[in-house]
Structure formats: structure tokens, C-alpha cells
């Protein structure tokens, strides 16, 4: 697939992409290195069913 080729996505996926773009434009991002450290925690939450927010919410965790 070429980078300029159109891709069809469902409405839910398109909305998630738009939320992500908006978050990035607002500076609400998490550095890749920090995300790599957080992934094991996220996986553990999913494994034991302790997710407290929707999976589509990619906001950084509150400290």
C-alpha cells in the first residue's frame, strides 16, 4: 500500500483517529520510551480484567 493511497475505515476507527490527532495537536502525547514502559502494565490490566477506562482512551495515566 502506498502512503498516499486512500484507506476505508469504519466510523468508530475514524473517530478514534480524529481523537488521536486532536490530542497530539493539543500536546497531549506520551513519549515512545514511556509508552514502552507502560505497555506491560496495560497488558496486565487486560489480562485480569481491571481496565478502568475504555480501550480507545489513549490518554496518559494520571500521576
Q: How far is CA 18 from the centre of its chain?
A: 11
pTM for this predicted structure: 0.49
**Phi, psi dihedral angles at 11 (to 5 degrees):** -60, -40
With beta carbons less than 8 A apart as the criterion, state whether 28 and 60 touch: yes
DSSP secondary structure letter of residue 23:
H
DSSP secondary structure letter of residue 2:
-
pLDDT tens-digit map of 30-62:
999 999 999 999 898 888 766 555 555 556 666
Task: Count H helices and E strands in the chain, helices first.
Answer: 2, 0
Amino acid at each position: 500500500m502506498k502512503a498516499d493511497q486512500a484507506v476505508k475505515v469504519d466510523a468508530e476507527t475514524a473517530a478514534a483517529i480524529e481523537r488521536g490527532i486532536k490530542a497530539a495537536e493539543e500536546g497531549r502525547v506520551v513519549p515512545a520510551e514511556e509508552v514502552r514502559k507502560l505497555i506491560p502494565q496495560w497488558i496486565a490490566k487486560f489480562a485480569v480484567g481491571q481496565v478502568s477506562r475504555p480501550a480507545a482512551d489513549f490518554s496518559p495515566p494520571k500521576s
